Amino acid sequence: MTTTSTAAEHALAAFRGLAIGDALGMPTQSMSLEQIRADHGTISGFVDAGPNQRIAHGMPAGSITDDTEQAVLVAELLVQGQGRLDPVDFARALIDWERAMAAKGSLDLLGPSTKTAVQRILDGVPAADAGSTGTTNGAAMRITPVGIATPLGVGAAGLTALVDAVQDACRVTHDTGLGIAGASAVAAAVSAGIDGATRAEALDVAVAAARIGATRGHWVAGGSIAERVDWARGHLPTVPAAQRTDAVSGLIGTSVASQESVVAALALVALDLDPWQTVCTAAGIGGDTDTIAAMAGAVLGAVHGAEAWSADAVRQVETVNDLQLEALTTQLLDLRSSSGR
């Protein structure tokens, strides 16, 4: 297990990695490979939103999207709840967040599963029952704070406890086997990285957590995230480097579906490339690029620590978006320490 100071560095790098990946994918989100190549060519750093970008039109280089904003929201609520994410408070916070975004004219609003759940809450459905149809990656994209705040513990019981915490965070919007499995995979990989796991070890834990998560919540038909990650991490390294982007886009998929985007993110992590190269690849892959890059960035930051990201990249993202991630991460680690006692 890592020392306390090293764990803090890895936790902060995970949160920063989420924001960095998100910002790299901001100008390419929801665009096709052809549109991305027309606007930007190969993504190698932060760029302004281009002419084919509708959701983030006019946003400057380094700007984050809903992925980081909602992760920060989850982190703040976890701290306020002393480690517990209250379903009603979370639902109200999501509603307030979207109203604030809409008021300033942003098109970066709630995703389909979260939007459905919020509307159900507005219609009078209990908050704890609203997420019975959510299968997209909305929970996985914002789950990193739960991974930071929750230790893996020892053995199967420890992993089960982490999935319990993930399910609590999913209950309002993504209380399905697919939603919980995707979020469990990301949170477990982040938590494992903070404890000193290698990439391969973190991915092993992610697969194990996804298998547990798939048994939780409401059943909805869809491919097994655990099995798809296992297959993808074995297959993708056999594909020539120049063809990997097309392979991820065509074989794994890059949509908002958890069994596509979560798998795509973890498959890219499994290539064992430089972290910056990995998140830039994710940002240029087409589809839900900001979320795929954000999830990959969180796992890579957790595994590699501060060395994963350049000081310039961290400075640009935190300055452009006025992010205060260090203080928030420290509070999440206090929760982690309390849980481990």
pLDDT confidence of residue 174:
94
Amino acid at 238: T
Q: Residue 89 half-sphere exposure, CB side, CA atoms within 13 Å?
A: 14
pLDDT confidence of residue 57:
85
Local structure of residue 273 (DSSP, 8 states): -
The residue ranking higher by pLDDT, 114 or 34, is 34
**Residue 172 to residue 329: CA distance in whole angstroms:** 23
Q: Where are the alpha helices (DSSP H) in 59-111?
A: 66-80, 87-103
Using the predicted structure, report yes or no on whether residue 278 has a pLDDT greater than 60.
yes
**Residue 25 to residue 282: CA distance in whole angstroms:** 8
**Residue 203 to residue 160: CA distance in whole angstroms:** 16
Residue 314 in contact with residue 21, Cβ under 8 Å?
no
| Nearest CA among 339, 21, 331, 310 for reference residue 145 | 331
Residue 203 in contact with residue 296, Cβ under 8 Å?
no
| pLDDT, tens digit (0-9, with 9 covering 90-100), for 54-81 | 888 889 999 999 999 999 999 999 999 9
**Residue 13 to residue 268: CA distance in whole angstroms:** 18
Using the predicted structure, report yes or no on whether residue 19 has a pLDDT greater than 90.
yes
Domains of the chain: 4-339 (1.10.4080.10)
Q: How confident is the model at residue 341 (pLDDT cuts 50, 70, 90)?
A: very low
Q: Residue 198 half-sphere exposure, CB side, CA atoms within 13 Å?
A: 5
| pLDDT, tens digit (0-9, with 9 covering 90-100), for 209-249 | 999 999 999 999 999 999 999 999 999 999 999 999 999 99
